[in-house]
Amino acid sequence: MTYANSNPEVEAWLRKLGWALSRMPSPEREGIVDETRAHMYERLARGLTPAQAVEGFGRPDAYARKFMDEMDLSGALGSQRGGDLLGAIARRVHRSLIALVAFVAVLCLFCLAAGGAVAMVMEVVDPVHTGLWVGEAGFFIGTNDDLSRAKDIAGDKIYVVGAVLIAASYVFGRLILLGAVRALARR
């Protein structure tokens, strides 16, 4: 929507807003730009200068981010796919403590699941040195070169232990991601 009495400063700001919203579906993006345009021109009609009218909205990219954030979070909650949830969290790690904590927790769970998977593979390759070990250093899963320093408590049940680790990491990781995205969406 453009008008004969358009203001170049306002239109330049709105053009940048449109660019910043480019990841958004077209009708939604145009709706936001048109509504912001209507608001700014009404402010101009009430006596504000173009600089004052755009200043109230801040930088176009920062303003766009408020809509993009909401779209990102509601999209992730709608799909509930692990990749979408993790992506929404990863994009906020640098600016949200909730996202940072959730990301680190999920990373730890991923490492635990990876350890379980590696142990299952290594059990086939080197069953003597692979297991769930208890020693001076505490619990660990994987391969152990010095059998005198730790005892394998899983034996041939290492496959079960590995599968439980992977399943539990997936379930807890998903719960953490869902909880974090919901918490961010409420803010």
Binding residues (CB under 8 A) for another protein: these are 1, 3, 31-32, 34-39, 41-43, 56-58, 63, 66-67, 70, 74
CB of 121 to another protein, least distance (A): 45
Polymer length of the chain: 187
Q: Decide whether 38 or 171 has the Cβ nearer to another protein.
A: 38
What is the token pair recorded at 91? 């994009």
- Contact of 174 with 156, CB cutoff 8 Å: no
Q: Decide whether 40 or 85 has the Cβ nearer to another protein.
A: 40
Q: Decide whether 56 or 179 has the Cβ nearer to another protein.
A: 56
Q: Decide whether 1 or 97 has the Cβ nearer to another protein.
A: 1
CB of 80 to another protein, least distance (A): 17
Q: How far is CA 47 from each of CA 40, 41, 52, 89, 152, rounded to the nearest angstrom?
A: 11, 10, 10, 42, 79
CB of 34 to another protein, least distance (A): 8
CB of 26 to another protein, least distance (A): 16
Neighbouring residues of 95: CB distance < 8 A, sequence distance ≥ 6: none
For the chain, the 3-state helix, strand and coil shares in percent, each to the nearest 5, are: 70, 10, 25
